[in-house]
Amino acid sequence: MEAAAKPDQGLPAPVHVAIIMDGNGRWAKARGLPRTAGHKKGAESVRRAVETARELGVSYLTLYAFSSENWKRPVGEVTDLMGLLRLYLRNEVNSLHKNGIRLRIIGDRSKLSADIVTLIEESEAKTRDNNALTLVLALSYGGRQEIVEAARAVARQVAEGRISVDAIDETTLAGNLFTADIPDPDLVIRTSGEQRISNFLLWQCAYSELVFLDVLWPDFSRSDFEAAIRDYHGRDRRFGAANG
């Protein structure tokens, strides 16, 4: 059988790729290192994935950086993760901006510290007009929570008389999600070998292709990214329609 072409050798990149970055803790444990070391190494993979997405022509890259459930982790680990987030927002945004990358943050900002919210707002404002790639970081994010918040927003619109109950449809709800102006993911990748989506983009992933990789996130490479896209191109995307 002829080897599949690389995405950069003729196959178009998916418009939107979303990644569940899993395995930092296991990577560190396997090396006898603290979990923080895994998170720091994982941050390097974030940079590599962003560069790869831009080079391959992906328009949107969404990374599951910190879930709503992650707040339940030990205080010390959460503190370390928030510290890494601060460093990323302070040190990487200039590079993102230089490379024409727009940064978007989705999730519940009310649980984030005030200085992080300020950094987020400044980073989004600085990169707002960039169009080489939109990098979406899901922070303090949960898919069920997002849908609940969207339902509340629609309920308020009904209560205020702006729309009728009968006018509510999928487009109405989708328009009140964090991702209202972002296309649904074509491809969702999860690293570490786990095969679940863990409350990530539940509404948006209705027809996404799912690729599960055994590689731990700190080891996620350009070749892994390309392999996932080749897998994606081998799928028959029918969106519920019958063959033929």
Return the number of other C-beta atoms located less than 10 Å from residue 139's C-beta. Answer: 24
Is 35 within any annotated ligand binding site? yes
Name the catalytic one among 8, 70, 176, 219. 70
Is 16 within any annotated ligand binding site? no
Is 26 within any annotated ligand binding site? yes
Across the strands, what pairs with 101? 133
Is 115 within any annotated ligand binding site? no
Output the six-digit token pair for 235: 């799928």
| Whether residue 80 lies in the annotated active site | no
Name the catalytic one among 22, 184, 186, 224. 22
Is 196 within any annotated ligand binding site? yes
Is 140 within any annotated ligand binding site? no
* Residue 20: closest CA among 200, 208, 207: 200
Contacts 24+ apart (CB under 8 A), 174-181: 174/150, 174/203, 176/149, 176/150, 177/146, 177/147, 177/150, 177/203, 177/204, 178/106, 178/107, 178/141, 178/146, 179/106, 179/136, 179/204
Is 23 within any annotated ligand binding site? yes
Is 67 within any annotated ligand binding site? yes
Is 69 within any annotated ligand binding site? yes
- Dist CA 241 CA 79 (whole Å): 47
Is 27 within any annotated ligand binding site? yes
Residue type, 68: S
- Dist CA 48 CA 61 (whole Å): 12
* Residue 19: closest CA among 172, 228, 178: 228
- In terms of Cβ atoms closer than 10 Å to its own Cβ (0-12, 13-18, 19+), residue 237 is exposed
Is 156 within any annotated ligand binding site? no
| Whether residue 129 lies in the annotated active site | no
Is 39 within any annotated ligand binding site? yes
Is 22 within any annotated ligand binding site? yes
Is 237 within any annotated ligand binding site? no
Binding residue positions for substrate? 23-27, 35, 39, 67-69, 71, 73, 190, 196-198
Binding residue positions for Mg(2+)? 22, 209
Binding residue positions? 22-27, 35, 39, 67-69, 71, 73, 190, 196-198, 209
Which residues are annotated as catalytic? Answer: 22, 70
